[in-house]
Structures are given as C-alpha cells and as structure tokens.
Structure 1
Amino acid sequence: MPASVRQHYELYPYPDYPLFASVRRQDTYANNLGALWALFNGELPPPAGRILIAGCGSFAPYPFALANPGTPITALDLSGNSLKRARLHCLLHGITGVDFVPGDLCDPALAPGPYAMIDAYGVLHHLAEPLAGLRALAARLCEGGILRVMLYSHYARREEDSIRRALRLLQVRDPEQVRRMVVKSGKRSRLRNFFESSDEVASRSGLADALLHPQVTSYRIGELLELIAASGLALLRFAHRGALPEPESEIARLRELERQRRAPGNFVFYLGRDVQGPCPEKEGVYRLNPCLAPALAPWRLAPLHLPGRLGHENAALDGAERRFLRRFRNPVPAADLSRAELAKAGHYADRLFLMRCRA
C-alpha cells in the first residue's frame, strides 16, 4: 500500500459518521455470516467461522459485530486513526469481541486465515496493485468462504475521476481549498454541479475521499471480469442496486449499460472459494435470520422497513408477512410447507430474511 494512501486516511478517517450514530440490528441482516453462508453453501457456517473486515475504515466493525454477536471479527486497516475511531465507536455502543489490527492487507503475516467471510468494501481500488490485494484476501478464505467486494465503476465515477485529475494537476490537496474553488466557480461549472448533486462532499473526509484520494482505479465490466478470473475465486452474485440474481444475466445487462456509457452505480459482488451451492427449495429446513428476530416481536405493529440488498428493493413487511416470518424462529422443514408457503419462503431466503439449510 503506498505511503500516500496511509497518510490520506490518517488525515481523513472515513467515513466520518458521528460517534453516537447507531444502527438497528435488523438493518444489518445482510452482514450476517449465517445467512450468507446458507445462501451460497446451503448450510450453517462452521462453528469456528471467523470474519475479516479488510480495510475496515472508521465504522464497519460496529454493524458487522451487531450482525454477528459471538463471532470472532478481525478489523484490519492501515490507518491508526481510522482504527481508533472504529474502536471508540464500538465501545460507545457496547460492542466487544472485535480484534483491531493495524497494517497492510497484502501482508500475509497480518490477520492470517482461514476466514469464513471477508469484507473488502471500497478498498481494493485504492491499492497500487488491486489484483495482489484480491489474491491476498483469497488466500485467507476457508473452503466455502465468501468475499464481498465493492469496486468503483468507470461510468459511475466519471465526474469524480475527471475532477480529481484536474485538482491533482492544480496541486490542490486540501478540502477547504476545494470549497473555496466551488464558491468562486460559475453556477454551471462541473465542480459546482458535482457539489450540488453529491452527498459525499458534505463532510471533510467524504470530500477528500471523493476528490483528493491519491490512488484510485475504476473498472469497466470487462476489466472487472479479468480481475476476478485472475483471483482464483468464483463469481457468485452481483449485489449492487438492480442487479439480476444470475451473474451471466447481470454481466449482459452491465455490458449493455456500458454501451450506453451508463452504470448502475459502483460494482458490488460476492466471490467464493469452492462453495457448495444453495440448498434446493423443497429440501432441508428454513430458519429466520437472527438479526430480524427482535424486529418481529408480536407487539411491534408498524410495518417493517428493511434496506434493499443483493440488488433487491424491499417492500415494507405488513402484519401477515411478519407473522409468516415469525414461524421460522425455530427451524421449519421444507416438507411441512405448502407449495405457496415454499414459494414465499424461497422468496425470503433469496433476500436473506430466511436461511435455507440442508437437513
């Protein structure tokens, strides 16, 4: 990892959420190891399964620990200031059991595997050699292990990248200097338009991450697929907004968007090492994602709104749907469900609300 990247995050720990900003446990459901392992392996994770957050930044350990109480979590980051803020955020919310490790994710001596799940959200595109970083993470995965990655899309990042290159040529390195430039810029200038349309630039660290980062690589879908092929891992699923569940169908959709010079946002996807594949809908048992149990208490009458994940937008869960999901607090064999109930359970399993596991 270049020293300039380390210095950047020492100056601007990211993201800059308030320390008392809290997360509802039900909103972390897609970070639950059991739900993800069941989706891709058709069973519950091994008892010794661990999670690595590679490039954890200043916030991610908190929601991951909330989603996985009792699961050992390692939070690795090259920035000491980011780790300090992440540790403090956890402590202020009563989160323990996270091991905070400073250093470069490409160093195999740090946070050695095996891990059942690794998260590298918005990290690899800041490496001088993203493939080396991806291979270093792949080497830490256990058999059946899952890696979530977010990488910048060329067409989603065109404005940021263009402005960032211009600022580098002008040797602009301070967020306040950028803000002064915005004030002086014309009402229809590219810089002003970006500031008026982007939420990222509201904070000092967000502005620095978007426009002043010293190391950024963005990808077209063909380049992304080459990176994945060279990693030795299998592409399991895309998970950005609107993504189709079958990877090949989503790749075709992305190619068509790129022909139109468009993108659905940045790429989010899951990779795996020798995963076993999902359990068939009519076999095994269904269990409730444990993150949702508190939100499904009978006395909670308001519709339940959950953030969309795996490409889905989620409609609010009404009383009937919440009652249906409550049935799975204890395992329910697929054989005990009617055809209509199986279809509904499969729908919820694909959204990670339920876990479908081989008996």
Structure 2
Amino acid sequence: MPESVRQHYELYPYPDYPLFASVRRRDTYANNLDALWALFNGELPPPAARRILIAGCGSFAPYPFALANPDTPVTALDLSRNSLKRARLHCLLHGLTGVEFLPGDLCDPNLAPGPYGMIDAYGVLHHLAEPLAGLRALAARLAHGGIVRVMLYSRYTRLEEDSIRRALRFLKVRDPEQVRRMVARSGKDSRLRGFFESSDEVSSRSGLADALLHPQVKSYRIAEILDLVAASGLELLRFAHRGALPEPEREVARIRELERDKRAPGNFVFYLGRDVKGPCREQDGVYRLNPCLAAALAPWRLAPLHLPGRLGHENAALDGAERRFLRRFRKPVPAADLSRAELVKAGDYADRLFLMRCRT
C-alpha cells in the first residue's frame, strides 16, 4: 500500500467517533461469527475457524466486533498506528479485551496468518494500489467455509465526490481547513457548497479528509466488481447494501439496470466465501437465537425492539408476539417441533440473522 495512504490515516484517523460513543450489543448481531457462518454453511464454525480478522480496521471497528464476539479472538490490522491506538483505547474504555492490534499492510503474507473464519474489509480495498492483490491476500488467509465482507465505493454514488476530489488535487489543496475556507467563499449555488450541505461525512475533519483528500481512491461499476471477485478465487455469496435482493444474480441484474441510468444502490456491500457448504434447509436441523439478541429479548423488556437493517433488510420494530416467538430459541429448537407457519417465520428470521439454522 502506498506510503501516502499510511501518512493520510496517521494524520486523520477514521472514523473519529467520540471515545465514549457506545454501541448496544443487540445492534451488532450481523457481526456475529456464529450467525454468519450458519447462514452460509448451515452449521456453527469449527474451533479452527473461530477467529476474526479486521483488515484495515480503522479507529472504531474492533469495538463492535469484539462486542458481538466476546469469546472469539479478533485481530485488528491497520497501516496507521494512530488509528490502532484510538481503536485500542475505545475497546479499553468499554471493557473489551480479546483483540490483538497489529500494525502493517494487509498485503504482507507474514502478518496475521490464517485461517480466519471471517475477514472484514469494509471500505479498504478501494484504497489499495492493487485491489486484486489485496483481495487475494485476504483469500489466502480464509478458512474453508470462511466469509469475507467487503465494501467498495460505487462509481455512480460517488460521481460528485470524485469530481470534487480530483479538482482539489489539481489545485494542490491538501488540508481540510483549506477546503472549509473554499466552501465559505463559494456561492450559495456552487457544487462544492451543495455537496457540503448534503453530506454528513464532511461534518468532521477526518470525514472530510477521507471523502475529499484521500490520496488513493478507486470506485467501481458492477462489472468491475464481478471481474475482481472472479479473479480472487472466492465465491460471491450475497449483497448486503440497503435494498439488496437476496439472490446475487437478481441483485446484479437490478444494479445493471440502475447503472444504465448512471445510478447505483449506494456503495456496494457484499459477502464472499470459500467452499461454503450452503444453508441448512428450513425443515431440517435446529434453530438457535443469535447470541447478540439474548439480553434484548429478556421477558422484562416490554418496549418494542428496534434493530438496524442488515443484509439488505429494513427491519420493522419487533412487537411483543414476535419477541415471545424469538425467546423460544434461547435453547435449540428442532425444526420438527415447529408448525409449517412457524418454520416460515423462523426461516425469515434466520435469513435476517436473528436466528441461526444449523444441521443436526
């Protein structure tokens, strides 16, 4: 990875959430290794795969991953020592241990050797000089049955952002305060001012730097993503950006239609896998509650339960009846003990990662 990228994140660790900013464990349910492994393999991960790598962890991601997986070793790898320092402090302030913080380049095969059951590369590969080399380096660390989550910038989502970034580079603007002064002097109808008024990311210094001053950025069309995945040797399992269809082929077709009009569903989020076994059938195996939701479903909690959308779903608040239904799965429930209607409901919750469906 270019030295300029390391220097950028030493100056602007990202994101810069307050150190006391907290996350509820129930909201980390989609980061739980058991739930993700069960979704794509129809079973719980074997002991050798109970490890998580956050490749390019930044200053925050180790905290929600450690919260979601308290009994699973997490390795947090990043170029920037300042980012790692802030990430370590965030975990310590919230009483989370079990995270190894490792400085270095994810393309270095001597760092963080596998196998890992899950690798997170959220917003990382598009900052590499050779994204394919980075993805292959992650694939080499992945256990059989393992899962990689990737987020990549979308070309049509970032048209304005990329245009402004190129203009600022041409003008040799390198400091966030320079950009803010330019915005202050710009006309009320200028594109630069319009972007600042519509973007939440530029409200912070590090967010502005990441969006508009980053030295190495690539954005993607869907065809380029498919080529990248095919060359990596991994299998495309599922898209997980907002509104994504569950079947990859249908979602690819939907995105192609959007791109014909120079539109996109936002930045691309998707899961890749190596030799996954496929999900367990609804009528087979047993169902278990995602462990991140156990405390939130306690009987004395009477208010509706709100969970953030994941895997393309918009989650409505769970009412009392739905919570009572999910409580039944605190202990494993065989599919044979469920009615047809209950199986359909349990299958939907398993697809959303609220439940884990595993072969017996």
Taking structure 2 as the reference length, the TM-score comes to 0.99
Indicate the SS of the match to 1:22: coil
Counterpart amino acid of residue 208 in structure 2: L
Counterpart amino acid of residue 37 in structure 2: W
Measure the CA separation in 2 of the matches of 1:356 and 1:23.
Answer: 26
Could you report, residue by residue, the CA deviation over 1:219-266 in whole angstroms, capped at 9, with x for unpaired residues? 000011000000000000000000000000000000000001101100
Counterpart amino acid of residue 279 in structure 2: P
Indicate the SS of the match to 1:304: coil
Counterpart amino acid of residue 154 in structure 2: S
Cα offset, 1:311, TM superposition: 0.3
Counterpart amino acid of residue 34 in structure 1: D
Indicate the SS of the match to 1:264: coil
User: Who is 2:46 aligned against?
Assistant: 46
Indicate the SS of the match to 2:66: helix
Cα offset, 1:47, TM superposition: 2.0
Measure the CA separation in 2 of the matches of 1:159 and 1:211.
Answer: 10
User: Who is 1:22 aligned against?
Assistant: 22
User: Who is 1:32 aligned against?
Assistant: 32
User: Who is 1:90 aligned against?
Assistant: 91
How well do the aligned residues superpose, as a CA RMSD in angstroms?
0.4
Counterpart amino acid of residue 248 in structure 1: E
Indicate the SS of the match to 1:74: strand
Counterpart amino acid of residue 298 in structure 2: A
User: Who is 2:74 aligned against?
Assistant: 73
Measure the CA separation in 2 of the matches of 1:166 and 1:2.
Answer: 21
Measure the CA separation in 1 of the matches of 2:57 and 2:222.
Answer: 25
Measure the CA separation in 1 of the matches of 2:161 and 2:230.
Answer: 28
Count of aligned pairs? 359
User: Who is 2:357 aligned against?
Assistant: 356
Indicate the SS of the match to 1:205: helix
Q: How does 1:87-126 map to 2 (within 5 A)?
A: 87-126=88-127
**1:198 and 2:199 equivalent?**
yes
Q: How does 1:303-322 map to 2 (within 5 A)?
A: 303-322=304-323
Q: How does 1:201-216 map to 2 (within 5 A)?
A: 201-216=202-217
Measure the CA separation in 2 of the matches of 1:345 and 1:149.
Answer: 27
Q: How does 1:153-164 map to 2 (within 5 A)?
A: 153-164=154-165
Structure 1 residues not aligned, in runs of 5+? none
**1:323 and 2:324 equivalent?**
yes
Q: How does 1:226-237 map to 2 (within 5 A)?
A: 226-237=227-238
Measure the CA separation in 1 of the matches of 2:66 and 2:237.
Answer: 24
**1:266 and 2:267 equivalent?**
yes
Measure the CA separation in 1 of the matches of 2:47 and 2:136.
Answer: 25
Measure the CA separation in 2 of the matches of 1:65 and 1:75.
Answer: 10
Measure the CA separation in 1 of the matches of 2:93 and 2:328.
Answer: 34
Cα offset, 1:65, TM superposition: 0.3
**1:298 and 2:299 equivalent?**
yes
Could you report, residue by residue, the CA deviation over 1:178-208 in whole angstroms, capped at 9, with x for unpaired residues? 0000000011111000000000001000000
Measure the CA separation in 2 of the matches of 1:112 and 1:347.
Answer: 36
Measure the CA separation in 1 of the matches of 2:161 and 2:135.
Answer: 24
Cα offset, 1:70, TM superposition: 1.0
User: Who is 1:250 aligned against?
Assistant: 251
Measure the CA separation in 2 of the matches of 1:19 and 1:128.
Answer: 31
Could you report, residue by residue, the CA deviation over 1:90-126 in whole angstroms, capped at 9, with x for unpaired residues? 0000000100000000000000000000000000000
User: Who is 1:8 aligned against?
Assistant: 8
**1:277 and 2:290 equivalent?**
no
Indicate the SS of the match to 2:47: coil
Cα offset, 1:46, TM superposition: 1.1
Measure the CA separation in 2 of the matches of 1:46 and 1:124.
Answer: 28
Q: Which runs of 4+ in 1 moved over 3 A?
A: none
User: Who is 2:340 aligned against?
Assistant: 339
Could you report, residue by residue, the CA deviation over 1:313-339 in whole angstroms, capped at 9, with x for unpaired residues? 000000000000000000000000000
Measure the CA separation in 1 of the matches of 2:5 and 2:189.
Answer: 32
Indicate the SS of the match to 1:254: helix
Q: Quick check: 301-310 or 47-56, which moved more? A: 47-56
User: Who is 2:145 aligned against?
Assistant: 144
Measure the CA separation in 2 of the matches of 1:6 and 1:56.
Answer: 13
Counterpart amino acid of residue 137 in structure 1: L
Measure the CA separation in 2 of the matches of 1:32 and 1:215.
Answer: 31
Counterpart amino acid of residue 284 in structure 1: G
Cα offset, 1:129, TM superposition: 0.3
Cα offset, 1:34, TM superposition: 0.3
Q: Aligned residues: percent identity?
A: 87
Measure the CA separation in 1 of the matches of 2:202 and 2:178.
Answer: 13
Measure the CA separation in 2 of the matches of 1:74 and 1:46.
Answer: 18
Indicate the SS of the match to 2:252: helix
